[in-house]
Structure 1
Amino acid sequence: MLAETARAGLDRTRQMLLAETLDPHTWAARMLLAMAETPSITSTQLLAELKNEELSADETQISRSGRALVERGLAIKTRHGREVSWRTSPRGAAVVRSLQQRMQAQ
């Protein structure tokens, strides 16, 4: 019981640190925000959306940034045949809220 409480506290601390240190202008942050706007967004849709922001996105960048978000526990990747879809995890949703607040304050 004590170990679970300690683990939960560390998870919250890690979540807050990620939210405070994730630069809103990075690929990872932009992907996370797009995932929050469009649940189960596909890699193809992400690529199109990020290109609309006048960024030079390619499939490699989507894959690399997505993998980093999954490793941090902020995103969930699902594969359906050849198509990959992305969504935020509960931790990712909390980071999105923090990112949005930081962006509004700027």
Structure 2
Amino acid sequence: LAFLVLAFAFFLCFIMSTGSYVYFQFVQQRPPTTCRLSSKPSNQHRPLQRFTIHGLWPSNYSNPRKPSNCNGSQFDARKVSPQLRSKLKISWPDVESGK
């Protein structure tokens, strides 16, 4: 739980710098379903059986689409600590590539 709080705090800080939003959508996915519905070919790995994080997106009730006013700055993965990165690989894996 502490890991998720830390991860969300990191992403909230990053996202809040790009605009004003009413709420955040925390979206989870079930890997077996995601893999079955994907148009990409499977690499034969056995998908995780637990729900994983799909994303955290800022949203508004009046316009629930993805943010369109991003400033274009690139995310710098080097700023993510190795400890947080290893925990994210467990809770937020790349389901489609199996990494």
In terms of fraction of residues, the more helix-rich structure is 1
TM-score under structure 1 length normalisation: 0.22
Bigger Cα Rg: 2
TM-score under structure 2 length normalisation: 0.23
